[in-house]
Amino acid sequence: MDKVASDLQQRVLALISRGVAQATTDEEFDWLARDVFAFQYERCEVYRAYCDRRKQTPQSVAHWKEIPATPTSAFKDFALTCFPVEQAVAEFHTSGTTREQAGKHFLETLELYHAAIGVSFAAHLLDENAEMNGRDARSTLPMMILTPSPEEAPHSSLSHMMGVVMEEFGADDSAYYVEGGQLLLEKLVRDLCELQWAHEPVFLLGTAFAFVHLFDHLDQQNLKFDMSEGSRVMETGGFKGRSRELSKADLYALFERVLGIPTTRVVNEYGMTELSTQFYDATMLVGKRTDGKTVPPWARVLVIDPNTGREAAGNERGLIRIFDLANLWSMMCVQTEDLGIRRVSESGVMEFEVLGRAAGAEVRGCSLNAENIVVE
Amino acid sequence: MSATIETIREAVSRTREARERVQQHRSTDAVIGVLTQTAKNWLDPNSPWRKRAVEYAPRHSGFSEAMVQEAIDLTFGAINYESLGELLDRELGNRRVLDEFCLRGRVQSRAIAPRLLVHFLAGNVPMPGIVSICCGLLLRTANLVKVSPRDPVFPSLFIESVREVDAELADCAASTDWSRGELALTQTALEDADAVIAYGDDHTISALRQLATPQARFLGYGHKLSFAVVAKEAMTEENLPQLAQAAAFDASVYDQLGCLSPHVYYVEERGQLGPRKFAAALADAMAAYQARVPRGQLSVEEAAQIAKFRSSYEFRAASDKRFVVWSSAAGNDWTVIYDDSPSFIPSCLNRTIFVKPTDGYKRVLDAIQKIASNVSTVGVAPMHERAAGFAGDLARMGVHRVCPIGQMQRPPLSWHHDGRPNLADLVSWTDLG
């Protein structure tokens, strides 16, 4: 790693290690973000070509908000790296559908990635514990993880993240409950029973899809739990047509009704293969159920009006655009295909809410469109 | 105002009574005359019907006022004495079979229309609904028309405009609306229907088909898509401006939301001019059409789809010469995407069109094989002998219409909509002799 790169990496790491509580000023973020932009413009040829086409270059961009966003689709078409791709220590792939090529995110180092995962995760899912019981409490919860292990799914960024948080924060008896594409329902139920008997809290982590599967199973078996106080859930969205779809509110009600875990201790995570930083509902930070997500100091989130390409007015829906400095080695500014809104939270900080994929636009006429025809 | 069980039953009995009177007092030829006069009234630039449609339709359909004007011209321009007569003659052999026994072969036959025809309209393109009502009136049947929330304006205005010419005939049709979720109302509407015409997505159509009585004739028109092919013979310097204008018209009308709207233009290589030249000329023509007939307002979801298509292709085009993107200078009014790969890519619509090079008709057939059953119309230029051979191949794949580029949005009244007749499937026959 040359000096320019290692200096930048140190600056980003310093920002991450400050934790989520201490916000960055606009000047502070802008200073680093535009340096990262210049770095990525110089080192990633295809990104440079795109910026040149848009006439938005390090010379012309005067503020971080003007930095050109890379569409997530570009991760399918190009290896978007600021280092020789063959030196990648890890690569994560989007799940995608069979007809589509997977998007790929290559990592030069895991240092930034792991730092960003740990700080955000702890702040949104663990730190109230730390305050109550001292720092040790952070590592006492057994994690029941409803995804494949990182060994089984080496290209899944979600499994990788689970590996990181289990290693760092999980109790020794933490385990993965998806093997060979199957949710290990019986083992899950058995282990939940044991924890309930022992009056031990549980930490469940998984996809909304897996949880619906679990709840369907518990319903069939006529089973209900009342997990101990201190139990919590990290749920990450996305059904992608793989199970019956439930609204977030309905799913969270099931955690309370079937597992005895109050909705104030169920936290949604918004993460993407193309990013290094995850975003969480502020629920446990503020002690109150909310769909508003906090933005850590090393990131920014804008909501873009798709009709104008400019920032949407406050409380108007638009496309979520993420600036993630931890993506130093790939693409810092990513244009997602998710709709969201941005607003000031009750506690006075900027937050955003994810409203789901911008798919399923209703066709006003009688034509089929890209969303409702499958070319296979 | 949403219908109730009572208002639906009342509308059914009112239209049925009107039907009894009209059956006795109107000949088919007289009905043709009424519809012809009605269409003529709409085509008058100062028509009050036109003014009202332009005032009220945009807020439901999302079309611009100029687009509504264009829709009126396209819809009512197709309805006249000749085209209505041709429709009847072509489908029933002779328009008089609806009035009396006529000699057909060795026996005399008379066509018997259904007593109650229920129309379920969908989407914001007015023409299918207006034509559907015209068919019902030509048959002098009672018509209950459930309008689409995207176009509650045209069907009711049309019935009113018929009333201006012939009140008794207009009484044979009633338009109404209720939410799709109100199953009891749909069942009420269908309980006495002996014929049903339904537009909508596959899910809607199959649900309605199940709700209709087993003896009712059921014509379902699903959502479809279209594309076009430019052969190398058409790609000349002299021909290109006119061709591009025709292509931009087909792609822009109804903001590309209709089932006749092309998603892709395949352009044959090795012409005097290449496919990229076509794409550039098409972009100019799209801009010119936009200046004359602006695209309507989009929902956030629709705009997001365009943003997604555009940014994805613009990123590729920046470093990959196989892609080129032309787009409206400001906003997202229109987008032309040149993409070197032959595969068929459905568009996100709202004036987003692909141009793709092809080695010839045979390659196009390979590329569209998987979507052939969803294709409504294939535009071609020029209409030459090779195109006729291509049309034969398309016919075998289940495509129902091949027409010149520029005519994709102007199907004649007597076309086989989705491959079936419009009237012939609705009548039954009584033979004499």
Contact across the interface for B311 and A45, Cβ inside 8 Å: no
Q: Are B279 and B354 members of one domain?
A: yes
**pLDDT score for A365:** 80
Contact across the interface for B123 and A365, Cβ inside 8 Å: yes
Has residue A136 got a pLDDT over 60? no
Give the mean pLDDT of B65-93: 97
Q: Are A272 and A336 members of one domain?
A: no
Q: Does a structural domain hold residue B135?
A: yes
Q: Residue B19 is which amino acid? A: R
**Euclidean distance between CA atoms A53 and A49, whole angstroms:** 6
Q: Which two tokens stand for residue A156?
A: 């899944």
Has residue A179 got a pLDDT over 70? yes
Place of tokens 């914001």: B124
The reply to whether B429 touches chain A by the CB within 8 Å rule is no
Has residue A98 got a pLDDT over 60? no
**Chain A residue numbers touching B256 (CB-CB < 8 A):** 367
Among residues of chain B, what percentage have pLDDT more than 90? Answer: 97
Provide the residue range defining the domain that includes B190: 5-222+418-432
Q: Are B283 and B145 members of one domain?
A: no
Q: Are A50 and A84 members of one domain?
A: yes
Has residue A359 got a pLDDT over 80? no
Q: Does a structural domain hold residue B252?
A: yes
Instruction: State the CATH number of the domain containing residue A8.
Output: 3.40.50.12780
Q: Are A137 and A106 members of one domain?
A: no
Q: Which two tokens stand for residue B140?
A: 């002098």
**Euclidean distance between CA atoms A101 and B344, whole angstroms:** 16
Q: Does a structural domain hold residue A131?
A: yes
pLDDT tens-place string over residues A211-253: 999 999 999 999 999 999 999 999 997 654 445 678 889 999 9
Give the mean pLDDT of B365-389: 95
**Chain B residue numbers touching A101 (CB-CB < 8 A):** none
Q: Are A135 and A161 members of one domain?
A: yes
Query: Which positions 365-424 of B are in contact with A (Cβ < 8 Å)?
Result: 370-371, 374
Distance of residue A106 Cα from the nearest chain B Cα, in angstroms: 19
Give the mean pLDDT of B7-12: 97
pLDDT tens-place string over residues A104-128: 999 999 999 999 999 999 999 996 6
The reply to whether B331 touches chain A by the CB within 8 Å rule is yes
**Euclidean distance between CA atoms A188 and A158, whole angstroms:** 19
**Euclidean distance between CA atoms B326 and B153, whole angstroms:** 35
Has residue B424 got a pLDDT over 80? yes
Contact across the interface for A375 and B128, Cβ inside 8 Å: no
Burial B267-284 (b: 16+ CB within 10 A, else e): bbeebebebebbbbbbbe
Picking from B223, B318, B347, the nearest residue to A366 by CB comes out as B223
- Asked if B134 contacts B79 with a C-beta cutoff of 8 angstroms, the reply is yes
The model's confidence at residue A1, banded by pLDDT at 50, 70 and 90, is: confident
Distance of residue A278 Cα from the nearest chain B Cα, in angstroms: 22
Instruction: State the CATH number of the domain containing residue B55.
Output: 3.40.605.10
**Euclidean distance between CA atoms A112 and A325, whole angstroms:** 9
Contact across the interface for B123 and A363, Cβ inside 8 Å: yes
Compute CA distances A166 → A236, B106, B142, whole Å. Answer: 16, 87, 70
pLDDT tens-place string over residues B168-212: 999 999 999 998 889 999 999 999 999 999 999 999 999 999 999
Picking from A78, A361, A367, the nearest residue to B223 by CB comes out as A367
Contact across the interface for B301 and A360, Cβ inside 8 Å: yes
**Chain B residue numbers touching A336 (CB-CB < 8 A):** none
Picking from B125, B258, B311, the nearest residue to A71 by CB comes out as B311
**Euclidean distance between CA atoms B80 and B41, whole angstroms:** 11
**In 3D, which of B275, B186, B185 has the Cα closest to residue B228?**
B275
**pLDDT score for A361:** 58
Picking from A50, A307, A360, the nearest residue to B331 by CB comes out as A307
Distance of residue A115 Cα from the nearest chain B Cα, in angstroms: 30
Give the mean pLDDT of A131-144: 62
Q: Does a structural domain hold residue A366?
A: no
Residue of A130 and B425 predicted with greater confidence = B425
Give the mean pLDDT of B323-332: 93
Instruction: State the CATH number of the domain containing residue B341.
Output: 3.40.309.10
Q: Are B245 and B132 members of one domain?
A: no
Contact across the interface for A366 and B300, Cβ inside 8 Å: no
Picking from A52, A365, A369, the nearest residue to B125 by CB comes out as A365
Q: Does a structural domain hold residue A80?
A: yes
**Euclidean distance between CA atoms B286 and B352, whole angstroms:** 10
Q: Are A250 and A124 members of one domain?
A: yes
Q: Does a structural domain hold residue A7?
A: yes
Has residue A130 got a pLDDT over 90? no
**In 3D, which of A376, A375, A333, A341 has the Cα closest to residue A358?**
A341
**How many other CB atoms sit within 10 Å of the CB of residue A77?**
19
Contact across the interface for A363 and B298, Cβ inside 8 Å: no
Give the mean pLDDT of B264-279: 98
Q: Are B331 and B398 members of one domain?
A: yes
How big is the CA angle at A136 (ends A132 and A142), to the nearest 5 degrees?
95
**pLDDT score for A132:** 46
**Chain A residue numbers touching B257 (CB-CB < 8 A):** 363-367
Q: Does a structural domain hold residue B283?
A: yes
Q: Are B71 and B119 members of one domain?
A: yes
pLDDT tens-place string over residues B34-72: 999 999 999 999 999 999 999 999 999 999 999 999 999
**pLDDT score for A165:** 96
Picking from B128, B302, B312, the nearest residue to A71 by CB comes out as B312
Has residue A99 got a pLDDT over 90? no
**Chain B residue numbers touching A313 (CB-CB < 8 A):** none
**Chain B residue numbers touching A364 (CB-CB < 8 A):** 61-62, 123-124, 150, 257
Has residue A156 got a pLDDT over 50? yes
Domains identified in chain A, total number: 2
Give the DSSP letter string of B102-158: EEETTEEEEEE--SEEEEE--SS-HHHHHHHHHHHHHTT-EEEEE-BTTBSHHHHHH
Compute CA distances B356 → A49, A67, A291, B275, B343, whole Å. Answer: 23, 32, 44, 7, 8
Contact across the interface for A318 and B298, Cβ inside 8 Å: no
Q: Are B269 and B350 members of one domain?
A: yes
Picking from B62, B199, B307, the nearest residue to A306 by CB comes out as B307
Residues 6+ apart with CB under 8 A from A262: A255, A256
Q: Does a structural domain hold residue B212?
A: yes
**Euclidean distance between CA atoms A11 and B223, whole angstroms:** 55
Q: What is the ipTM of this complex?
A: 0.93
Give the mean pLDDT of B347-351: 96
Instruction: State the CATH number of the domain containing residue A202.
Output: 3.40.50
**pLDDT score for B1:** 64
What does the CA dihedral B64, B70, B71, B77 come to, rounded to 10 degrees?
Answer: 170
Has residue A78 got a pLDDT over 70? yes
Peptide bond just before B58 cis, omega within 30 deg? no
Q: Are B296 and B344 members of one domain?
A: yes
Q: Does a structural domain hold residue A51?
A: yes
Q: Does a structural domain hold residue B254?
A: yes
The reply to whether B327 touches chain A by the CB within 8 Å rule is no
Q: Are B299 and B310 members of one domain?
A: yes
Residues in chain A: 376
Q: Are A51 and A198 members of one domain?
A: no
Q: Does a structural domain hold residue B360?
A: yes
Has residue A97 got a pLDDT over 90? no
How big is the CA angle at A244 (ends A241 and A247), to the nearest 5 degrees?
95
Domains identified in chain B, total number: 2
Give the mean pLDDT of A50-57: 97
The model's confidence at residue B99, banded by pLDDT at 50, 70 and 90, is: very high
Q: Are B31 and B56 members of one domain?
A: yes
Has residue B248 got a pLDDT over 80? yes
Q: Are A118 and A106 members of one domain?
A: no
Q: Does a structural domain hold residue A350?
A: yes
Distance of residue A292 Cα from the nearest chain B Cα, in angstroms: 20
Q: Are B230 and B123 members of one domain?
A: no
**Euclidean distance between CA atoms B147 and B129, whole angstroms:** 8
Compute CA distances B205 → B93, B181, B182, B214, B427, whole Å. Answer: 30, 14, 16, 15, 21
- β-strand pairing of A333-344 with A104-107: unpaired
Q: Residue B290 is which amino acid? A: Q
Picking from A46, A335, A369, the nearest residue to B348 by CB comes out as A369
Q: Are B42 and B156 members of one domain?
A: yes
Has residue A137 got a pLDDT over 50? no
Contact across the interface for A306 and B122, Cβ inside 8 Å: no
Residue A56 burial by Cβ neighbours in a 10 Å radius (0-12, 13-18, 19+): middle
pLDDT tens-place string over residues B100-145: 999 988 999 999 999 999 999 999 999 999 999 999 999 999 999 9
Q: Are A101 and A81 members of one domain?
A: yes
Tell me the residues of A at the B interface, defined by beta carbons under 8 Å apart. Answer: 45-46, 49-50, 52-54, 69-71, 73-74, 77-78, 304-309, 317-319, 335, 337, 339, 358-373, 375-376
Has residue B2 got a pLDDT over 90? no
**Chain A residue numbers touching B326 (CB-CB < 8 A):** none
Picking from A307, A335, A368, the nearest residue to B303 by CB comes out as A307
Burial B348-377 (b: 16+ CB within 10 A, else e): bbbbbbbbbbbebbebbbebbeebeebbbb
Contact across the interface for A306 and B306, Cβ inside 8 Å: yes
Q: Are A250 and A139 members of one domain?
A: yes
CB pairs under 8 A between A and B: 151
**Euclidean distance between CA atoms B341 and B355, whole angstroms:** 10
**Chain A residue numbers touching B221 (CB-CB < 8 A):** 366
Q: HSE-up of A283 (CA within 13 Å, CB side)?
A: 23
The reply to whether B202 touches chain A by the CB within 8 Å rule is no
Distance of residue B313 Cα from the nearest chain A Cα, in angstroms: 9
Strand partners, A304: A311, A319
Q: Are A160 and A237 members of one domain?
A: yes
**Euclidean distance between CA atoms B71 and B83, whole angstroms:** 18
**Euclidean distance between CA atoms A209 and A374, whole angstroms:** 22
The model's confidence at residue A194, banded by pLDDT at 50, 70 and 90, is: very high
**How many other CB atoms sit within 10 Å of the CB of residue A133?**
12
Substitution target in A366, A368, A372, A375 with the highest count of B β-carbons within 10 Å is: A366
Chain B residue with minimum CA distance to A338: B304
Place of tokens 């199940």: B210
**pLDDT score for A135:** 42
Q: Residue A331 is which amino acid? A: M
Distance of residue B298 Cα from the nearest chain A Cα, in angstroms: 8
Q: Are A135 and A33 members of one domain?
A: no
Contact across the interface for A335 and B374, Cβ inside 8 Å: no
Residues 6+ apart with CB under 8 A from A20: A119, A120, A123, A124, A294, A296, A297
Contact across the interface for A373 and B346, Cβ inside 8 Å: yes
Provide the residue range defining the domain that includes A169: 113-286
**Euclidean distance between CA atoms A309 and A257, whole angstroms:** 43
Has residue A134 got a pLDDT over 90? no
Q: Are A257 and A336 members of one domain?
A: no
Q: Does a structural domain hold residue B208?
A: yes
Q: Does a structural domain hold residue A341?
A: yes
Q: Does a structural domain hold residue B410?
A: no
Q: Does a structural domain hold residue A148?
A: yes
Q: Which two tokens stand for residue B200?
A: 């909508």
Picking from B303, B319, B331, the nearest residue to A45 by CB comes out as B319
Contact across the interface for A317 and B300, Cβ inside 8 Å: yes
Among residues of chain A, what percentage have pLDDT more than 70? Answer: 90
**In 3D, which of A369, A51, A363 has the Cα closest to residue B354?**
A369
Residues in chain B: 433
Give the DSSP letter string of B226-274: EEEEE-GGG--TTTHHHHHHHHHHHHHGGGG-STTSEEEEEEESSSSS-
Give the mean pLDDT of A267-279: 96
Residues 6+ apart with CB under 8 A from A73: A103, A337, B308, B311, B312, B315
**pLDDT score for A368:** 79
Chain B residue with minimum CA distance to A72: B312
Substitution target in B203, B225, B312, B315 with the highest count of A β-carbons within 10 Å is: B315
Q: Are B88 and B195 members of one domain?
A: yes
Substitution target in A303, A315, A368 with the highest count of B β-carbons within 10 Å is: A368
Measured on CA atoms in the order A33, A35, A36, A40, is the torsion positive or negative? positive
**Euclidean distance between CA atoms A96 and A72, whole angstroms:** 12
Give the mean pLDDT of A38-43: 98
The model's confidence at residue A372, banded by pLDDT at 50, 70 and 90, is: low
Q: Identify the helix (H) or strand (E) that includes residue A303.
A: strand A299-304
The model's confidence at residue A347, banded by pLDDT at 50, 70 and 90, is: confident
